[in-house]
Structure 1
Amino acid sequence: MELCVFTEPQQGASYDLQLAHAQAAEALGFTGWFRSDHLLAMSGDGLPGPTDAWTTLAGLARETSRVRLGTLVSSVTFRHPGLLAMQVAQVDAMSGGRVELGLGAGWFAAEHLAYGIPFPERRFDLLEEALEIVTGLWSTEVGDTYAFDGVHWRLEESPALPKPVQQRVPVIVGGTGAKRTPALAAEFATEYNVPWADGDDLERAWGRGRAAADAAGRDDLRLSVAKQTVVGRTEAEFRRRAEAIGADPDELRATQLGGTANEVADRVAALGEAGAVRVYLQTIDMTDLDHLDLLAATLL
């Protein structure tokens, strides 16, 4: 089972802070460093302000050497899929083939209003077309052209360049939707991610992912989960860290990855036994590098 660090820079993080966090995750041995792709903080002032996800990942690609890098997840509303395919392919080359693309329908209307970005109602239709375009551009042979005639986008005689370094850039589709989300994951993605769910809810969501993969004739769809993660060496340290990010320690312990080190280690092991190929450890306070040290010592 792979363990990745997952961050929320819109809550307030400069590029330099994200760089320090990503380099620490790499040095400690985590598989990947992933970031959300949001434009507004959900709480607090969010200073110094948002950082564009793919601009940030391009910088990190040149300042790390091993850790995998990606979004969990980019909103389909933010970037034209033709341009997104180009951006991701370029960052993949800049990283030597370490990029992964998480792509979703988007949900946060306020950030769209704040920056003048359209927020249509039928975003799953956008997502389906974008997944087809991005993967289609990447898979087109060099020298051939790609065309797409959809409801929302039309591409004609595209040279489909540049190509990623990886033969297949991993694509992550996630969510708890009962039908379209697992179906899209089975058709286009390498990984189906379920965020925040626990217990029977998580198993039901993974079951829908497995069923969609079976219907598509696939046996290689990876299952993953993202969990808010707050760990302490002692109960007091755990509660201090939870308080620092405004989280309820009892809720963290009940449904996420919260508690003392041994507690959380047992819960992560149980996720692996239940079928998780990868667990994303959401860490909010990027200034707390000691937290990463403890997670690595406990879980890796």
Structure 2
Amino acid sequence: MDLRIFTEPQQGATYDDVLAVARATEDLGFDAFFRSDHYLTMGGDGLPGPTDAWTTLAGLARETSRVRLGTLVSSATFRYPGVLAIQVAQVDQMSGGRVELGLGAGWFAEEHAAYGIPFPEKRFGILTEQLEIVTGLWGTPVGERFEHHGEHYTLTDSPALPKPVQHSPLHPDRAGVPVIVGGGGPRRTPRLAARFAAEYNQAFPELDGIPGRIDQVRQACVEEGRDPDTLIQSVALVLCVGRDDAEVARRAAAIGREAQELREHGIAGTPDEAVERLRTLAQQGVQRVYLQVLDLHDLEHLQLVAEQVAPHLG
């Protein structure tokens, strides 16, 4: 099972804070460092303020060498799709081909109001067109042109440059980066994942609902004529592991949560409890877990998981 570190810098972090976690992620052997793409805190004062996701990832691309980097997830409301395609392709080049793009419809109305970003009531069509355009720009052969005439976006005579270093997992003969799609919709989101994604992510799901959602997404792949085994199944869950109950309680309090609640809904408890939860997820069909780390200054937390949890997962 892949273990990835997932952070929420909008809650209050500098670039240097994020860099320290990314370097620890790499040094400790985790698979990837991901971050949210938000501009407003969801509790607390948020000081010193948000950092832009793709600006941050560009910096990390040059200051790390192994871990994969990405967003979970960027909002389709934040950037025009042509600009997003350029940004992601450039960061992929800067990283030597280590970038992944998580893209969603956006949900946090308050951050849009706070920074003057339009927030349409209906956003699923915007997300669909963004996925069509971003993957279409990357996949257009060099020397050819890309066009798109949709309800929300029109691109005319685009040179479709620059290209990512990587090739699309769905179309190995074309340039592209792995795309991650997630969401709770029962039909439309699974179909989007089946069409465009290398990975389908369930963010903070009810644990007993995970297998049913995996089945829905796999069925959507069948309906799209795609082998369901080519779509990676992942979940994102909060992390709170301690050597004993007292350390678990201390880490839970540091992020404003209750230890028992985290044990019920996340990857929490002693290392043995965390291993048991992760093994259960693997039995349910989960191949990758994003460990949401909310206290970015507690690097010993990551070290504990790397030393006492990860080695027992096979």
TM class, shorter-chain normalised?
over 0.9
Paired with 1:10 and 1:272, the residues of 2 have a C-alpha distance of 30
Paired with 1:198 and 1:121, the residues of 2 have a C-alpha distance of 26
Residue matched to 1:171:
179
Confirm or deny: 8 A CA contact 1:101 1:172 kept in the other structure. yes
Are 2:275 and 1:265 aligned? yes
Residue matched to 1:81:
81
Equivalent residue runs for 1:26-65 within 5 Å: 26-65=26-65
Confirm or deny: 8 A CA contact 1:198 1:256 kept in the other structure. no
Q: Alignment partner of 1:163: what SS?
A: coil
Confirm or deny: 8 A CA contact 2:210 2:284 kept in the other structure. no
Paired with 1:22 and 1:129, the residues of 2 have a C-alpha distance of 32
> What CA deviation, in whole Å up to 9, does each residue of 1:79-124 have, x standing for no partner?
0000000000000000000000000000000000000000001101
Residue matched to 1:234:
244
% identical aligned pairs: 62
When normalised by structure 1's length, the TM-score is: 0.99
Are 2:291 and 1:285 aligned? no
Residue matched to 2:259:
249
Runs of at least 4 residues of structure 1 off by over 3 A? none
Residue matched to 1:181:
189
Please, which of 298, 301, 308 is the counterpart of residue 298 of structure 1? 308
Equivalent residue runs for 1:59-208 within 5 Å: 59-168=59-168, 169-208=177-216
1:202 offset after TM fit, Å? 1.2
> What CA deviation, in whole Å up to 9, does each residue of 1:237-293 have, x standing for no partner?
001000000012111111211111110111111111221121000000010000000
Q: CA RMSD in A?
A: 0.8
Unaligned runs of 5+ in 2: 169-176
Paired with 2:267 and 2:206, the residues of 1 have a C-alpha distance of 10
1:299 offset after TM fit, Å? 2.4
Question: Bigger shift: 267-276 or 74-83?
Answer: 267-276
Confirm or deny: 8 A CA contact 2:201 2:235 kept in the other structure. yes
> What CA deviation, in whole Å up to 9, does each residue of 1:33-75 have, x standing for no partner?
0000000000111111000000000000000000000000000
When normalised by structure 2's length, the TM-score is: 0.94
Question: Which letter does structure 2 place at the counterpart of 1:274?
Answer: Q
Paired with 1:248 and 1:41, the residues of 2 have a C-alpha distance of 20
Q: Alignment partner of 2:78: what SS?
A: coil
Question: Which letter does structure 2 place at the counterpart of 1:249?
Answer: A
Paired with 2:307 and 2:59, the residues of 1 have a C-alpha distance of 28
